[in-house]
Each structure stands twice: as structure tokens, then as C-alpha cells.
Amino acid sequence: MPTDPSEVSVGIQDLTFATTSLCLTHEELARHTGAPLAKYHHGIGQTAMSIPAEDEDIVTMAADAAAPIIECHGSRKIRTILFATETGIDQSKAAGIYVHSLLRLPPHIRVVELKQACYGATAALQLACALVRSDPTQQVLVLASDIARYDLDSPGEATQGAAAAAMLISAAPDLVELHTPTGLFTHDVMDFWRPNYRTTALVDGKKSNDAYLEALEGAWHDYQARGGLPFEKLRTVCYHQPFTRMAHKAHRRLERTANTTAPLQDIGQAIAPTTTYNQTIGNSYTASMYLALAALLDSDTDLSGDTIGLFSYGSGSVAEFFTGTISPNYRLHLRTEAHETHITERDTVGYETYRRLHTRTLPTDGTAYELPHQTDGRYRLAGIHRHQRLYQEAPP
């Protein structure tokens, strides 16, 4: 095995995701908001959004996503769990520790939570790759789990969603080998934020779109300055998708920045395979770009040996552009059927049920509180007692 970390092939060995048990269609939303359905289906590119049941949260989704990876690969080589989220449930304790317990993992693992809006999972991914390059015998479990919530009747309401992605990072990966260099961009901008005292995010939609595109240009220029591949060498790009039409806008801007152009139809063909999961799940913040990657890998497009770009954006803002090469036998390691099941088996709720779930709150005074069993997932939030969240495996 090479002793030089730069010579070690590192990347995504396994990738899967989970979402919630419930969903609200944009058709149902439009009936009550009075908005034209085309505004949702074509304007932002969304058809439905995942809604958490009362006993679902970022921990239960992350555990659901990670469990198949542990069952397939075991935990013997895992030395680190990195949990990325902007829907934190505790100001001190990492949410990943609850996942560690639910999955019955061994104690000799470090667990850390990372935060920087929707970019956090990419920070976790890069840290994971560095750890594996330093010791190729170890593996790192990266978890990205979020619930996107905006005020009822606000412009952002239609872009809500929820999901968790789980990735096993290892040497000689079976799915995607990740490369250096990467392009970075940071700029202090108040385009989207959520103070500690709020349960819903605040967003300036136009400023956020502009900040996203500015960050894309900045990260691309930095990537190129560090010897990155030319645009023409990339099969396509997976973008962070606060709504799926943003990926189309981003690809058009990147083409212009790279001094190349393609017909809009070609852009649509390039981006469409990355949007199939996000358009029906909605925004999942840290997990969003990795759901785009999962959708691309699960698509009918043969990507064997192709190099793709990945653009991660987190409001506030931090962005990164990097690339990866799809392994020749990647199709042998996909979880397409499980991913489709997560989506198709959600129960569709009506508008009133959605609003009730949106406005519900958990007690904050330490009172013992048991939650009804609603989730179809493997793990659930059972209750709260003395300010402690209690998780369990969901009964059959």
C-alpha cells in the first residue's frame, strides 16, 4: 500500500439515504395556497416534500440510513462518525452519539457533529477522506440529516423537505473515488439563517440565489487556479438543490463561467438524472447534494469510469467544488430498490394534518412525554423525560 497519502485512492464505498414516513404533495399544497401548480412543478421543480411523523427526527432518519451500511460492511474498521446537520437537537451532545447507540456500535469510535448550513456534510466528507488517507485501514461513517422547515404561508414553505444520507468513506472505494484539488469560497452574507431561538429558518430568496451563484463562480475559479480539470472533462455536475430548478440555473452559470455553452435541452439532459429524488423529497439541507449523487448513480445512465463534478453550498456562506470518478463496477453496489422504496412507501397526508405536524412542539420544561408510534422506519423518538430524548428500535 502506498505510504504517501496523496497516492491513496479514497472515496465513497457505500451511499444510501432514508426519508420520513409522510409526505405532502405540491398539488395538495397548491389547492390551499391558491398558487398555480406550475409554479411548483415547473417554477421550482418540486412535486412533493417529505414530512416527519411525530416520532421522527434527524437521529431516526440517520440511523435508518446508516443501518444497511453497517449490516453490509460491519463496524470493525469504522473509527469515526461525522454527523452533519443544521437541525441540531442539542447545543452540546452530538446527534451521532444517539445513532451510535441505536446501531449498537463498538465504543472505540470518535463521534463529532459539524455545522455550516447545507455545506456541513461536505466538510465532514473532506475530513473523512483526510482521516482515511492518513490511515487507509480505517473507515469513516459520514451522516447528513436535516429537516427543512420554514414558516407557514411563507415563500420558502414549498421548498421544505427531510432526509438523511449515509456514506461509508474508505480506501479503494467501490462507488466514487474523490479527487484533489478542490475549490473553496467563503463570504459573509445573510441570505439564510436560523437563530437559536427559532425553530424555522429565515431566508432572503433572491439574495440566497445570487449568493449561491456567486459562490459557484468563486469556488470554480479557485478550483481552476489550483489545477482542476476543465469543464469539458466532466460528465455532469451534482449540485446542492434547495429546489431542483436551482441545479439547472447553476449549470447554466457554470457553463458561462467556464466559457462554454450548450443548448438548454442539453443542460436539462445533463442535470435531470440528479434531480429525481430531491424533486419529490424536497430540500434536505446537508443531505441534498448527496441525494443528487445517489439519484445520478441510480439512473439508467452508464457512468462507469466517468468523472463528475460536485458543488456544495451552505448559506452564510461556504462553498466547495470538487470532482470524483465513478468506479467501473459501481452498479454492483447500488441500493436503487431501497431508495425507491423509501420514497414510494411514504403515506400522503392532507393539508390540515401537515399544518398540525408543522406547528406541534415538544415540551421544554422537562415533563415526561411519550410520543405515539407513527413512523414506518426502524427507529423512533419514543419520548422525552427530564430534558432527555429517548430513542428506541421501532416495534414491528
pLDDT tens across 227-283, in order? 999 999 999 999 999 999 999 999 999 999 998 876 767 888 899 999 999 999 999
Q: Please state, in angstroms and rounded to a whole number, the distance separating the CA atoms of residues 168 and 10.
A: 11
What angle (nearest 5°) sits at the alpha carbon of residue 112, between those of residues 107 and 118?
A: 145
Looking at every residue in the chain, the average pLDDT score rounds to 96
pLDDT bin (cut points 50, 70, 90) of residue 113 is very high
Give phi and psi for 229, each to the nearest 5.
-70, 150
Q: 74 pLDDT exceeds 50?
A: yes
Q: What is the pLDDT of residues 120-153, one digit of tens each?
A: 999 999 999 999 999 999 999 999 999 999 999 9
**Burial code of 155-187, b = ≥16 C-beta within 10 A, e = fewer?**
ebbbbbbbbbbbbbbbbebbbbbbbebbbbbbe
* C-alpha torsion angle, residues 317, 323, 329, 332 (rounded to 10): 0
Query: Strand 139-148 relative to strand 78-84: parallel, antiparallel, unpaired?
Result: parallel
More confident residue, 396 or 110: 110
Q: 3 pLDDT exceeds 60?
A: no
Once rounded to an integer, what is the mean pLDDT over residues 75-93?
Answer: 97
Q: What is the pLDDT of residues 168-195, one digit of tens each?
A: 999 999 999 999 999 999 999 999 999 9
Q: What is the pLDDT of residues 15-59, one digit of tens each?
A: 999 999 999 999 999 999 999 999 999 999 999 999 999 999 999
Q: Please state, in angstroms and rounded to a whole number, the distance separating the CA atoms of residues 19 and 22.
A: 9
Query: Residue 62: which of 5, 119, 145, 130 has the closest Cα?
Result: 145
What angle (nearest 5°) sits at the alpha carbon of residue 131, between those of residues 97 and 112?
A: 20
> What is the predicted pLDDT for the residue at 1?
40
Q: How many domains does the chain have?
A: 1
pLDDT bin (cut points 50, 70, 90) of residue 2 is very low
> What is the predicted pLDDT for the residue at 8?
85
**Beta bridge partners of residue 51, listed in sequence order:** 22
Once rounded to an integer, what is the mean pLDDT over residues 191-206?
Answer: 94
Q: Please state, in angstroms and rounded to a whole number, the distance separating the CA atoms of residues 358 and 53.
A: 10
Q: What is the pLDDT of residues 350-366, one digit of tens each?
A: 999 999 999 999 999 99
Residue 324: other Cβ atoms inside 10 A: 20
> What is the predicted pLDDT for the residue at 268?
84
> What is the predicted pLDDT for the residue at 264?
66
Once rounded to an integer, what is the mean pLDDT over residues 65-73?
Answer: 98
Where do we find the cell 432526509? Answer: 163
Q: Please state, in angstroms and rounded to a whole number, the distance separating the CA atoms of residues 38 and 122.
A: 32
Measured in whole angstroms, how far is the alpha carbon of residue 241 from the centre of its chain?
9
**Domain interval for residue 371:** 5-393
Report H helices in the chain. 26-33, 37-38, 58-73, 95-102, 120-134, 205-225, 245-257, 264-271, 278-281, 288-298, 336-344, 351-359
Least confident of 293-302, 339-348, 360-369: 360-369
Once rounded to an integer, what is the mean pLDDT over residues 71-96?
Answer: 98
Query: Residue 290: which of 136, 106, 149, 123 has the closest Cα?
Result: 123
Once rounded to an integer, what is the mean pLDDT over residues 63-80?
Answer: 98
3-state SS string for 46-93: CCEEEECCCCCCHHHHHHHHHHHHHHHHCCCCEEEEEEECCCCCCCCC
Alpha-carbon distances, residue 46 vs 107, 109, 237, 281 (angstroms): 41, 39, 19, 8
CATH number at residue 330: 3.40.47.10
Q: Please state, in angstroms and rounded to a whole number, the distance separating the CA atoms of residues 268 and 42.
A: 13
Q: 4 pLDDT exceeds 70?
A: no
pLDDT bin (cut points 50, 70, 90) of residue 6 is low
> What is the predicted pLDDT for the residue at 260?
86
Task: Determine whether 256 is exposed, middle or buried from the number of CB atoms within 10 Å of its CB (0-12, 13-18, 19+).
Answer: exposed
Catalytically active residues are 86, 118, 240
